[in-house]
Amino acid sequence: MRLLRLRLRDFRNIAQAEIEPGPRATVVFGPNGHGKTNLLEAIYLLATLRPLRASRFAELPRFGEANCEVEGDWEVAGIERRIAVRVEGGTRQAFLDGKRVQDLEAYFGGISVVSFTPDDLLVVKGEPELRRRHLDRAVFNRFPAFLAESRAYGRALRARNRLLREEAPTELLEAFDGPLVEAGARIVVRRRRLLEELEPRFRQVLSSLTRGQLQGSLRYRSSFAPPGQDEGAVRDALAKALRDGLARDRGRKHTGVGPHADRLDFELSGRTARTFASQGQQRAIILAWKIAEIENLEDHLGHQPLLLLDDVSSELDPERNRQLLAYLDAFHGQVILTTTDPSHLLQAPSGQTRYFSVWEGSFAQVDPDGLSGAAPKGQNPE
Ligand SMILES: Nc1ncnc2c1ncn2[C@@H]1O[C@H](COP(=O)(O)OP(=O)(O)OP(=O)(O)O)[C@@H](O)[C@H]1O
Ligand SMILES: [Mg+2]
């Protein structure tokens, strides 16, 4: 799988751009605030139909513009396909080969992206919501149908919460429990399936990154679902929990139980990393998760996902950085990295790397030979 060409119009601060990423590595460099993350955000949106940063779609069109568009040509299993996404009026529309598509699995068609941003490093110690979102990103990647399922759940949940606020009669509330229970059980089972696939790899990668020092595990905590992946059993348990919690929900005017309140916890030697992990251990945990996720996708897709790395080198300690670059050097898929300072990325990844500079939302391909002096003044490589 390769991203061959990318076109952007009015996306954040990028009025217009056409970029042909390198077959393996692409380095995008420029000073703070000039559009590096915006470019990755556009690619992420194109490949997942979801925003990379926690934002509403309405934030994406360039200030003063009503809409924006990202279009990309991809090669997947020897076949070239063109997908595009257009954001207008706070919603997004997906296009495959120029035609609007509703069938999102056809749209994705084997295209897959894993992002790694400085925000990921906050996940281990952050609020449960952050880890849920982190988990769900990985579930979307692994099971594209999850996008429609989680949206169905979100709709049903919002409808139930609205009825709770309106103090609607119980019969009306119960009429909405069906879709909520159906989609909710599916979400729990998808999450558990992904975690079951990921955990052995995660353990193994974390152990090897830390030379056997860290024993990690992933724990999914549901307040209602019995262990396991029997969807019927999870459905029954959710239906019962909603009935049992109705008086409480009415009091709080909000649904207290369901996959939106379940938790993912990282553990080190059986203790929750949220409370106990050091900075370095948190970074190792996230790096191990990302590598495990990439390897797992590769196994199931039959090809490597596109990797988007947003300025992570500057956030990782030198040891993790070295491990990341070593991993990338052996990685045969395509990777797009951003940095304020290309000089410390010059050695790796080797070979077919393309460099683009960005200035006020405009991108220009540059010759790596002229780059050594291109680092912004006053910044020293680590
Ligand atoms: N909808 C929008 N329209 C126009 N400009 C926008 C929009 N949204 C964000 N921006 C601008 O984009 C710029 C930020 O771009 P981006 O986050 O890509 O920077 P960056 O190059 O990644 O910087 P850093 O190195 O600090 O991470 C800011 O100047 C911001 O004001
Ligand atoms: Mg940035």
Averaged confidence pLDDT in the chain: 91
Q: How many CB atoms lie within 10 A of CB 20?
A: 14
> Can you give 319-362 as a three-state secondary structure string?
HHHHHHHHHHHHCCCCEEEEECCHHHHCCCCCCCEEEEEEECCE
For residue 206 the two structure tokens come to 């974390």
Short-list 51, 44, 83, CA closest to 306: 44
| Percentage of the chain modeled with pLDDT above 70 | 94
| pLDDT confidence band for 376 (50 / 70 / 90) | very low
| Mean pLDDT within 81-87 | 97
| Mean pLDDT within 212-241 | 96
| pLDDT confidence band for 344 (50 / 70 / 90) | low
Q: How many CB atoms lie within 10 A of CB 243?
A: 12
40 beta partners:
none
3 state SS of 294: helix
Q: How far apart are CA 77 and CA 111, in angstroms?
A: 10
Contact predicate 349/25, CB 8 Å: yes
Shortest-distance Cα residue to atom 28 of ligand 1: 33
Whether 37 lines ligand 1, by a CB cut-off of 6 Å, is yes
Residue 167 has a pLDDT of 96
Shortest-distance Cα residue to atom 16 of ligand 1: 35
Shortest-distance Cα residue to atom 7 of ligand 1: 12
Whether 35 lines ligand 1, by a CB cut-off of 6 Å, is yes
Whether 32 lines ligand 1, by a CB cut-off of 6 Å, is yes
| pLDDT confidence band for 317 (50 / 70 / 90) | confident
Say how many Å lie between the CA of residue 36 and the centre of ligand 1. Answer: 8
Say how many Å lie between the CA of residue 142 and the centre of ligand 1. Answer: 29
Residue 347 has a pLDDT of 57
What atom in ligand 1 is closest to the CA of residue 41? 18
Whether 59 lines ligand 1, by a CB cut-off of 6 Å, is yes
Whether 34 lines ligand 1, by a CB cut-off of 6 Å, is yes
pLDDT at 378 over 60: no
| Mean pLDDT within 103-123 | 92
For residue 340 the two structure tokens come to 């304020």
365 beta partners:
356
Please name which ligand lies nearest the alpha carbon of 13: 1
| pLDDT confidence band for 377 (50 / 70 / 90) | very low
Shortest-distance Cα residue to atom 17 of ligand 1: 37
By the 10 Å C-beta count (0-12 exposed, 13-18 middle, 19+ buried), 50 is classed as middle
Whether 12 lines ligand 1, by a CB cut-off of 6 Å, is yes
pLDDT at 202 over 90: yes
Please name which ligand lies nearest the alpha carbon of 35: 1
Lowest mean pLDDT among 49-63, 151-165, 279-293, 331-345: 331-345
pLDDT at 252 over 80: yes
Say how many Å lie between the CA of residue 39 and the centre of ligand 1. Answer: 9
For residue 339 the two structure tokens come to 């940095």
What atom in ligand 1 is closest to the CA of residue 358? 21
Among 34, 55, 312, 363, name the best residue to mutate to test ligand 1's pocket (greatest count of ligand atoms within 8 A of Cβ). 34
Q: pLDDT, tens digit, for every residue of 228-241?
A: 999 999 999 999 99
Residue 345 has a pLDDT of 64
Whether 14 lines ligand 1, by a CB cut-off of 6 Å, is no
Whether 65 lines ligand 1, by a CB cut-off of 6 Å, is no
pLDDT at 197 over 60: yes
Taking the CA atoms of the chain, what radius of gyration do you get in angstroms?
22
| pLDDT confidence band for 332 (50 / 70 / 90) | confident
3 state SS of 289: helix
| Mean pLDDT within 154-161 | 95
Q: pLDDT, tens digit, for every residue of 114-154?
A: 999 999 999 999 999 999 999 999 999 999 999 999 999 99
- Cα separations in angstroms, 37 against 44, 119, 121, 262, 352: 10, 12, 16, 30, 22
Whether 63 lines ligand 1, by a CB cut-off of 6 Å, is yes
Whether 10 lines ligand 1, by a CB cut-off of 6 Å, is no
Among 29, 37, 69, 358, name the best residue to mutate to test ligand 1's pocket (greatest count of ligand atoms within 8 A of Cβ). 37
Shortest-distance Cα residue to atom 19 of ligand 1: 33
Say how many Å lie between the CA of residue 106 and the centre of ligand 2. Answer: 31
Residue 322 has a pLDDT of 85
Please name which ligand lies nearest the alpha carbon of 41: 1
Please name which ligand lies nearest the alpha carbon of 67: 1
Short-list 84, 54, 81, 82, CA closest to 67: 84
| Mean pLDDT within 96-107 | 92
> Can you give 134-178 as a three-state secondary structure string?
HHHHHHHHHCCCHHHHHHHHHHHHHHHHHHHHCCCCHHHHHHHHH
pTM: 0.91
Residue 54 has a pLDDT of 66
Q: In what helix (H) or strand (E) does residue 44 lie, and over which residues does it extend?
A: helix 36-48
Say how many Å lie between the CA of residue 310 and the centre of ligand 2. Answer: 7
DSSP 118: G
Residue 21 has a pLDDT of 96
For residue 133 the two structure tokens come to 């979102």
Contact predicate 28/356, CB 8 Å: yes
| pLDDT confidence band for 53 (50 / 70 / 90) | confident
What is the 3-state composition of the chain as percent helix, strand, coil, each rounded to the nearest 5?
45, 25, 30
